[in-house]
Amino acid sequence: SEYDWIANQLTQIAQMYQVYESAQHEILTKLENLDAEFEVNYNHNPIHHIDGRMKDPQSLVGKIKKKNLAPNVDAVKNNIFDIAGLRVITNYIDDIYTVEKLLSQQDDIEVIKRKDYIENPKDSGYRSLHLVVKVPVFKAREVESIPVEIQIRTIGMDMWASLEHELRYKIDVDRAEEFADNLVHNANALFAIEQNFQDIHHEL
C-alpha cells in the first residue's frame, strides 16, 4: 500500500543519514588524531577547531530539485556529496594544505573532488579549500564507501564566510552591487592580513 511505500522510503532515508553520520565521525576522529599528534610533537596546532553538520532535509530536497534528480535514495547517494559535512578551521593559510595532505595520504581515504577557492577565489570573495573524500564505513554485513565534504579554511576566511552568509539574506537586490564590491575588498584585506601573520609565524 501507499503507507508501506512511505515507511520504506523513510527507513531508507534514516539508514542513509545514519551511515553518512558514521562516515563524518570517522573523518572527525582522523582529524582530531592528527591534531593531537601535532600537539605532542610540535609546538604548533594546525587546527583551530572543527565544525560538523548533516545536511538538513530542506536543503537536501532543494538540491535534488536544482539538480533535477530522481527522488530516491540511490540518486541522492550517487549525485550529492555534501550530506555529511565537516568544516576545519586552521590557524594559518599553510595549515590548510598540511591538513589536506595528512588526511588524503591515508590509505583508506580517497579524494573524489577538490576545489581550491584559495587559488581561485569565488567572485563573491569566498575562499576555502573544498574536498570530498570517501571513507569506508564498516557495517554489520558490509563495508560501504561514503563521501564526506570537508571545507578547510583559516580563521579569517571563516569569519568572512559567516558574516557574508548572514548579510546575504539582508542585502536588497538593488544595492547588491554596492555591497558586493565592499565584501570582495574585505575578503582581500583579510587575506592580506593572514598572509602577514603567516610570514611572522615563519620568521619565528
Q: Using CB under 6 A, list all residues that contact ligand 0O2.
A: 55, 59, 82, 115, 122, 124, 126, 130, 161, 164-165
Q: How many CB atoms lie within 10 A of CB 51?
A: 11
**Residues 6 or more apart in contact with residue 67 via CB below 8 angstroms:** 79, 80
Helix (H, G, I), strand (E, B) or coil at 146: strand
Angle subtended by helix axes 2-41 and 93-104, to nearest 10: 110
Nearest distance from C-beta of residue 202 to ligand 0O2, angstroms: 29
Question: Closer CB to ligand 0O2, residue 38 or residue 55?
Answer: 55
Q: Which three cell numbers stand for residue 24?
A: 563524518
Nearest distance from C-beta of residue 130 to ligand 0O2, angstroms: 5
Query: For residues 10 and 5, what is the distance between their CA atoms, to the nearest angstrom?
Result: 9
Question: Closer CB to ligand 0O2, residue 166 or residue 203?
Answer: 166
Angle (CA) 203 129 170, round 5°: 110
The neighbouring-strand residues paired with 144 are 137
Distances (CA, A) of 161 to 14, 36, 166, 171: 31, 27, 9, 15
Nearest distance from C-beta of residue 27 to ligand 0O2, angstroms: 16
Nearest distance from C-beta of residue 13 to ligand 0O2, angstroms: 17
Nearest distance from C-beta of residue 107 to ligand 0O2, angstroms: 26
Question: Closer CB to ligand 0O2, residue 137 or residue 150?
Answer: 150
Chain centroid to Cα 2, Å, comes to 37
Question: Closer CB to ligand 0O2, residue 8 or residue 162?
Answer: 162
Question: Closer CB to ligand 0O2, residue 4 or residue 123?
Answer: 123
